[in-house]
Amino acid sequence: MINEHTARREHRSAQDTREPVEVHPLNTDGVSRGERPPTELVRLRKPVVIRQDAGSRVDGTMVNPKFYDCFNYALLSQGAADVNIAVGITSANPGEGKTLVASNLAVSLTVAYQRRTVLVDMNIREPRLHEVFDIPPGPGLLEAVSESAIQVAKTAVRDLFVLTAGMGNGGISGGLRLAIEQQEREIEASLQLEQVAAFRDVLYSLKEEFSFVIVDMPAVREHLVPLLFTNQLDGILFVVHGGQTKQGELDQGLQLLSEHRVLGFVYNGSDRGTVKRRKRAR
């Protein structure tokens, strides 16, 4: 069972404000009249469209009260009603429970706050969220990055939506690449470095429509997604699997991330009943 640890090195609340960016007007020759050039990023707003094919059920082996009741999500929201945040869920290695944590965290936030939440499947190689929420695999993130619209699907949980990994239509434009290995009949897809700006536009557009954006990411030691993509998120929750994640793997994974972007850790594999019994015994 998952048990969230709130211990973290540095915490940035969703309500923290950033220093305003000073943008100076330009002269006719394109040179700024101020002392510094403009540094404000230009974001492209993409329309968010609800797909017709909604999910009719949820995989009870993945999404269950014994999982989503364990979260102390004040770490993300600080109890604020107007919270708006994009959080990535990752781990050192694959198979340590990222999709389990992302799914149950999204359900927990949606039910507790009664706010619109979207789950984003960034596991392009081995997506799973469409299976968990009974949704066709595409269109999804691959199409959203390369096209003008973002197509999300309703789930059986009220106010919870999923942006699946997508299909890529057998090929991709705008820098998202599908490397097709004909001999092995395997399709390996990856988000490329040149798509950082496009991914930022997708996140920006989703945050305009949803209070919580939860991104199920690949494991950091897989190197499937350039780590610059994590800089587009407001923070990262790192999943640690009890009895499986080794200390050296955890240290290496954290070294690959910007330390200040790690909001906290989720310990997957503990037994909440056992923890309670230990506390009573003390």
Tell me the per-residue pLDDT of 48-83, one tens digit each, with 9 for 90 and over.
999 999 999 999 999 988 887 777 555 555 555 567
Question: Is 241:270 a contact under the CB 8 Å cutoff?
Answer: no
Question: Is 35:68 a contact under the CB 8 Å cutoff?
Answer: no
At which residue do the structure tokens 């942006």 appear?
A: 163
Residues in the chain: 282
- Superfamily name and number for 47-281: P-loop containing nucleotide triphosphate hydrolases (3.40.50.300)
Q: Backbone dihedral region of 154: left (phi > 0), alpha (psi from -120 to 50 degrees) or beta?
A: beta
Return d(Cα 105, Cα 85) in angstroms, integer.
13
pLDDT (tens digit, 9 = 90+) per residue, 66-125?
887 777 555 555 555 567 899 999 999 999 999 999 999 999 999 888 899 999 999 988
pLDDT (tens digit, 9 = 90+) per residue, 173-220?
333 444 333 333 344 455 676 688 889 999 999 999 999 999 999 998
DSSP string, 105-165: HHHHHHHHHT--EEEEE--SSS--HHHHTT--S-SSHHHHHHSS-EEEEE-SSTTEEEE--
Cα torsion angle, 109, 112, 118, 119, sign? positive
pTM of the prediction?
Answer: 0.74
Domain-wise residue ranges, the chain: 47-281
Cα torsion angle, 56, 62, 67, 72, sign? negative
